Amino acid sequence: KNQVEQSPQSLIILEGKNCTLQCNYTVSPFSNLRWYKQDTGRGPVSLTIMTFSENTKSNGRYTATLDADTKQSSLHITASQLSDSASYICVVADRGSTLGRLYFGRGTQLTVWP
Amino acid sequence: EADIYQTPRYLVIGTGKKITLECSQTMGHDKMYWYQQDPGMELHLIHYSYGVNSTEKGDLSSESTVSRIRTEHFPLTLESARPSHTSQYLCASSGQAQTYEQYFGPGTRLTVT
């Protein structure tokens, strides 16, 4: 069964600190992995997309890593800001269908305190 | 900023009413999607479309229906709303590339009383 598991479920950090969010997946055949940021009451916004051959991808203070062998990914946030408070969702796409089906994790709810 | 729009943003309606959630995109994308999301839970695909006159059901069974008469427009309709339909509905669109980006609308928060 294709699944995407994220940890921790929720996380509270102080402004300026770093944090790392984890994602494990069993989706096969693998096409790509994305990290999305979803603010409360809004639609998800893409942060990074990584294919099988990519190990690391950065977008400003966000750095995602991918280990396709162990089927793990992480999202590292550097020097957190209050605006980073959101749900971070790991999404894995398969290449076994024309649609390129996406499998969503439940997200990590990050709260940044001043 | 993605050019995909949803209306209304919030809707509170009584049981038995017919409702239509609107979704439009100006990016010329062929593929469009409807997802349902409950608080703290993952997004579930309920409908998708490859293009005009193409509609398919997603992974999660839904009593809603969709239509795709124009490329830019992908409305979702509930003929008779029930409290179990209370949820957040997200529309998305994407291009054709393998690493296609899915752009999401802001969502419609539906509450059926």
> What are the b/e assignments for A99-110, b being 16+ CB within 10 Å?
bbbbbbbbbbbb
- Is the per-residue pLDDT at A109 higher than 90? yes
pLDDT 10s per residue in chain B (113 long)?
569 999 999 999 999 999 999 999 999 999 999 999 998 899 999 999 999 999 999 888 788 999 999 999 999 999 999 999 999 999 999 987 656 788 999 999 999 99
Q: Please give the residue of chain A at the shortest CA–CA distance from B49.
A: A99
Rounded to an integer, the average pLDDT of A75-89 is 97
Look at B107 and A104 and tell me if their CB atoms are within 8 Å. no
Which is it for strands B10-13 and B108-112: parallel, antiparallel or unpaired?
parallel
| pLDDT band at residue A21 under the 50/70/90 scheme | very high
Q: Please give the residue of chain B at the shortest CA–CA distance from A94.
A: B98
Is the omega angle on the peptide bond into residue B8 within 30 degrees of 0, that is, cis?
Answer: yes
- Interacting residues of A83 by C-beta distance below 8 A, sequence separation 6+: A112
Residue-wise pLDDT tens digits, B59-76: 887 889 999 999 999 999
* Residue B10: predicted pLDDT: 96
* Residue B1: predicted pLDDT: 55
Q: Tell me what percent of the residues of chain A surpass a pLDDT of 70.
A: 96
Which is it for strands A108-113 and A10-14: parallel, antiparallel or unpaired?
parallel
Q: How many helices (H) and strands (E) does chain A have?
A: 0, 11
Q: Which residues of B touch A45 (CB under 8 A)?
A: 2, 104
Look at B102 and A46 and tell me if their CB atoms are within 8 Å. yes
- Interacting residues of A74 by C-beta distance below 8 A, sequence separation 6+: A20, A21, A22, A23, A64, A65
| B1: β partners | none
Residue B68 CB coordination number (10 Å): 20
